Every structure is written in C-alpha cells, then in structure tokens.
Amino acid sequence: MEPLSVASSVVGVTPPALHCVRHLLDDIQKIIDAPEAVASLRGDLTATDKALISLQTITDSQWKSLGDIVIDESKSAMTLCLSSCERFQTALARWTQHSHNGKLSWRDRAVVGFFKQKQIKSMSEQLQICKTTLTSVVSIATLHSSLQQKDVSDDLLNMISLKEAEVTTALEAANKQLVEVNTQLAALRVAGQRGGETEADRADVDGQVVDELSALDTSRRLLEALLERTHAAVAEAQKEDDGPRFVFGNVEKGFQIGTNSGTISGITFN
C-alpha cells in the first residue's frame, strides 16, 4: 500500500460511520421519555463519535508504521460499527412507530422485552468495543511517532509499557467476551418468544449479536497486530540507541571534551 494513500483510504471509511453514529444518537435524543436501557446508549454513541474523530488525526507515516493488518482491521472495525448502527436504527424505528411528537407511547415502552433488551445490550457492547479498539490505535500511533526519535527516553519506554499493558488487558477481555457472546447466541436461538415479541425481534437480536461477534473478532486481530508492531518498534529503537555513549557530568549531548590542556585540530563545525 502506498504511504500517501493510506490516510485517505481510512478517512474514506470514517464519514459514513460517523454519520450513522450521529444519526442514531439524534434519533435516541428525540425520544424524550425513552426507556432507560435505550437512553443509556447516548454515552456509548458519544464516546464512539470521539474515537472516530480521533482516528482521522493519524498521519500517513503513522499508518505505515502500524502496518497493513492494523490499517485493514481499523477499516473493518468502522464498517462493522456502521452496519450495527444501521441495524439498530431500523429496529428502533419499528419500536417507536406509534410515537408522536418525538415521544414513545406507553404501548411502545411496554414491548421493550427480552429480545429487545438483549439487542440494546449487544449494541452497547459493540459501541464500547469500537471505542476501545480505535482509541488503542490512536494511542499506539502517537507512541510510534515518538519512537522515531533518535533518543528513546526511559519515560517514553514506561509510557509504551503502560499502553501495552492496556492493550493486553483489552485483548484478554475480547477473547473472554467472544466465548461469552457465543454462549449467549446459542441461548437466544433456543429461547421462546415473550409476550408482545415477534420473530422479527428474534431475527434482529440474532443479527445484532452476530455483528458483535464479528466486532470482537476484528478487535482481537487488531489488538494483536498493535502489540506485535509495538514490540518490534521498541526493539528496533533500543537497538539503534545501544551505541556507545560518553557522558561528561550530567551532560549527554553537544560538543564535550572534558579537560584539555593541548591544542585541538582536525575538527570541523557545520
């Protein structure tokens, strides 16, 4: 992939995802007396919006340093976020079809049952996955830029170590969640319909949970790639920084000669 085309290719995927996230947030905000489970998605949507915006700050050189796997999986994460938001938006429109003046009627509130609750929970988790994954990409990209400097400080290495620990924790959580969501999906597929719920509700939640599994799998691959690239970048930076270093007092840079009582020749100052 040509370096100059990387950022633009990622940025091209971002606006549709941002638009859908904001549209869904607007729809939910219009429901003045929305059930708590639905209203709680506002925070997740706002956090995801910020993560998508921050991804646009990554430069071509930073994307190149992260590698093709991170680039491709980042685009996949945003595409899945778009798909999930569209699915949920369609379901929300059906749930509120009896609403007037931007409010949900009590009839609508009464049918936010088992399948709908599961779909709302799955949507919330997908938004959190997207936010965590994309935020990790931005943080690692910034640290990669710092590693390009000639001198790698201990403070920088400590920051990278902390970020690696965060990414590792997120990866472990994603692996655990994959198992849990697979179990939940199996249970949903044998669950009976509750009062006021339809086969369409069952199909909606099934599709939403399948989307969540895809999002988790994408997140897992992306986080693994981030760790691998970061380990390699740190090793390379430390290798380049391992040359002989002569220190005079507390000074490690500049022109240093210590104490000299003779003449100095053959030195050119540029």
Q: What is the pLDDT of residues 226-252, one digit of tens each?
A: 999 888 888 877 776 555 443 334 444
Give the C-alpha separation, 251 to 41, whole Å.
Answer: 54
Give the C-alpha separation, 136 to 218, whole Å.
Answer: 13
Domain of residue 196, residue span: 3-240
The pair phi, psi for residue 99, each rounded to 5°, is -80, 155
pLDDT at residue 243, as a whole number = 52
pLDDT at residue 206, as a whole number = 92
pLDDT higher than threshold 50 for residue 153: yes
pLDDT at residue 214, as a whole number = 95
Q: How many CA atoms lie within 13 A of 86 on its CB side?
A: 11
3-class DSSP assignment, residue 242:
coil
Report if residue 264 sits inside a domain.
no
pTM score of the predicted model: 0.80
Say how many domains are in the chain: 1
Of 86 and 152, the structure prediction assigns the larger pLDDT to 86
Report if residue 18 sits inside a domain.
yes
Report if residue 168 sits inside a domain.
yes
Q: Which two tokens stand for residue 108?
A: 């609508």
Report if residue 177 sits inside a domain.
yes
Using the structure block, give the residue that is written with the tokens 């339809």: 198
Give the C-alpha separation, 139 to 162, whole Å.
Answer: 11
Report if residue 109 sits inside a domain.
yes
Report if residue 40 sits inside a domain.
yes
Report if residue 252 sits inside a domain.
no
Buried/exposed code over 167-197 (b: 16+ C-beta within 10 A; e: otherwise)? beebbebbeebbeebeebbeebeeeeeeeeb
Using the structure block, give the residue that is written with the tokens 């597929």: 189
Give the C-alpha separation, 41 to 14, whole Å.
Answer: 20
Q: Which two tokens stand for residue 237?
A: 């930076």
3-class DSSP assignment, residue 251:
strand
- The crossing angle, in degrees rounded to 10, of helices 199-240 and 154-190 is 160
* pLDDT band (50, 70, 90) for residue 128: very high
Report if residue 231 sits inside a domain.
yes
* pLDDT band (50, 70, 90) for residue 259: very low
